[in-house]
Structure 1
Amino acid sequence: MNYEEWNGRPSIRVRISESDVHYAGGLVDGAKMMQFFGDVATELLIRADGDEGLFRAYDMVEFLAPVHAGDYIEVYGKIISSGKSSRKMYFEAYKVVCPVEGKAPSACELLTVPVLVARASGTCVVPVENQRYKTQRI
């Protein structure tokens, strides 16, 4: 998908802080993006089944661009297929704001073209006995 196609879908927007930095140069590890994917998955499951469910497994994860302290990240997800208790999902994370080097320490800019920093797909499970809706609401 491209950035515009995600409009209106479940998402989160977060600012990456200095406390999220794991590597030299203010670089954040990929596990942070996976945490955000899990948060979006939880919302998708609540909307679909009325339960947070559990993340069973990722079958694909790609880290495509670096993420640093000061970046703003938007994370989107959608359910792409459903079984009796399983929900196959797809996620993308975009950098939408980043710090500006060589300016004031607090200078940032809104990116005119958001940068795809990570994408993933995986499967979540909501046990049938925990599903509160007879038909999915997404």
Structure 2
Amino acid sequence: MSEQSVTFRYRMSDRDVFYGGGVVNGARSITLANEAANRLMAKVFQNTGHCIEVRKVRLYEPCFAGDYMEFMARVRKMEGNRAVLEVRSFKIIEVPENPPYPSSIDVLPEPLLSTVVQFVYETY
């Protein structure tokens, strides 16, 4: 079961911006990490259960409007009827500082680790 995972991509938009300069609030990344955890629970256990604990939250790389993020969730371990899930988000595409065109993007050669969150879900 620990080999199962889900991955989804999300582009941060202007509506996700919280601070000046187009910076996205870290809580938005945590909310999307929770969405990835819910999808994983539905895939592995055929129900979403419910989150009873958040063990770890680490914010490493800031996100900006226009960045493409990849969220990867996996089951770390089972503890009785509880599943420990870890979600990592990576910045895979960013908007250049001075884009030559409004739609310009830079695909990063190496994804940047942005967020790590560990959730504990109780299964039914």
TM-score (norm 2): 0.90
Contact map agreement 2:5 2:40 (CA 8 A) in 1: no
Structure 1's consecutive aligned runs of 4 or more residues displaced over 4 angstroms after TM superposition are none
Q: Does 1:53 align with 2:62?
A: no
Per-residue displacement from partner, 1:107-135 (whole Å, max 9, x unpaired)? Answer: 111111111011111201123xxxxxxxx
Q: How does 1:65-104 map to 2 (within 5 A)?
A: 65-103=61-99, 104=101
Count the aligned residue pairs. 120
For the aligned residues, what is the CA RMSD?
Answer: 1.4
Identity %: 23
Structure 2: which 5+ residue stretches go unaligned?
Answer: none
2:62 match: secondary structure: coil
1:44 match: secondary structure: helix
Query: Amino acid of the residue matched to residue 39 of structure 2?
Result: E
Query: Amino acid of the residue matched to residue 110 of structure 2?
Result: V
Distance in 2 (alpha carbons) for counterparts of 1:88 and 1:32: 21
Greater Rg over alpha carbons, structure: 1
Q: Does 1:122 align with 2:119?
A: yes
Distance in 2 (alpha carbons) for counterparts of 1:125 and 1:9: 17
Contact map agreement 2:49 2:122 (CA 8 A) in 1: yes
TM-score (norm 1): 0.82
Per-residue displacement from partner, 1:25-52 (whole Å, max 9, x unpaired)? Answer: 1001111111111111112111221101
Q: Show the counterpart of 2:105.
A: 108
